[in-house]
Homo-oligomer: A and B are copies of this chain.
C-alpha cells in the first residue's frame, strides 16, 4: 500500500480496497478522542488551512474540529470574497496555493470548479484535501459515509446501496468510484435530466461498477441495505453562491423518502444516510426513527477527518 504521508486526497477514483480499509482502521483508533471530547497532542504543532470558495457548515467544521481535537491549530478563509482570489484580482489557483503552502501544513479546499483542488495540488507542497469541487468529487464525505456503513453493518461487501437524488452530484461520483473496490451493488434513482452522464457511466462500467437504474425509490427500496440521499431540488453547484434559482418546486414523490414508505417497503435494518443539507426529499419524520443515521454521519465526519489528517501529516502510519 502506498504511504499516506504527504499525499493529497483529491478523488476516490484511485483509492484501492486496502487503502479504504486502512483509513477506516485509523478512524476506529482515533474515534475515542472525538467521543470523549478530549484533546490529543498527535498534531500539536500542525496548522490546518481551510480554503473555502463555496459555503459549507459540516465539511469545514468537521475538518477543523478534527484538527483541534488532535491538538493542532486552524486558520484560513471560509469566504474567498475577503481574499485576493475573490476580489478584483481573481488571483489564480497557482498564485494562491504557491503561497498558501507557507501558511498551513495541510490545506482543505472547497471550490466551485471541478478539478480546482487537483490544480492546487500541483502548486502546493503540503497535502490538499478535496472538500468538494463543483460537480467533481467529495472524497472525504464518502469516506465518512462508508465508515458509517461499516460501523453499522460490520461490512461493506454484499450490500445494496440505493442512491437517490441528483446523480451528477460530487458525492455520487465518489460513491460510484468507491463501490468498485467492494462487492457493492448500487441502485440508482434520479430524475432523467439529473442522471449519471454517459461519459461517467462508461468510465465506472469499465472499472467494474455494477449499478442498476430504476425510475422510483418504490421499485428498489425493498432490497436496499443503505439508502443514500442527495437533494433533487437544489442550487446550481457549478455557479458561485450568488447565482441561485429564483424559483424551484418540490421534489417529485419518486425521489422522496418518508417514514411511512420505509415502514412499508424497507428492510427492517435498512439505514438512511444524507450528507445534508436537505430540501424536502427526506421527510423529517424519519429523523428519530430506527432508520436515521445522518446525525451519526455528522459525528463520524469528525472521526474520518482525524484519520485523514493524521495519515497525510504522517503522524500515524
Contacts and interface: CB of A to CB of B under 8 A. Distances in A.
Given A47-B68, A88-B235, A91-B277, A77 B103 contact: no
Interface in A165-182: none
B74 A55 contact: no
A194 interface: no
A82 B51 CA distance: 12
A105 B68 CA distance: 12
Given A39-B45, A47-B68, A56-B82, A61 B95 contact: no
Contacts of A279: 89
Contact of A78 (B82, B91, B98): B82
Given A74-B75, A87-B241, A277-B89, A302 B235 contact: no
Contacts of A197: none
A79 B241 CA distance: 14
A302 B102 contact: yes
Nearest to A85: B57
A216 interface: no
A76 interface: yes
B55 A102 contact: no
A94 B241 CA distance: 23
Given A78-B82, A82-B79, A298 B39 contact: no
Contact of A95 (B56, B102, B277, B301): B277
A304 to B, nearest CB: 12
A179 B74 CA distance: 37
A103 B45 contact: no
Interface string A22-60: 000000000000100111000011110100100111100
Given A39-B45, A79-B79, 10 more contacts: A34-B102, A38-B45, A57-B84, A57-B85, A68-B75, A84-B277, A87-B244, A99-B276, A99-B295, A99-B298
10 contacts: A37-B45, A37-B46, A55-B81, A56-B83, A61-B76, A79-B82, A87-B241, A88-B244, A91-B277, A99-B295
Interface of A: 34, 37-39, 44-47, 49, 52, 55-58, 61-62, 64-65, 68-69, 73-79, 81-89, 91, 94-96, 98-100, 102-105, 231, 234-235, 241, 244-245, 276-279, 284, 287, 295, 298-299, 301-302
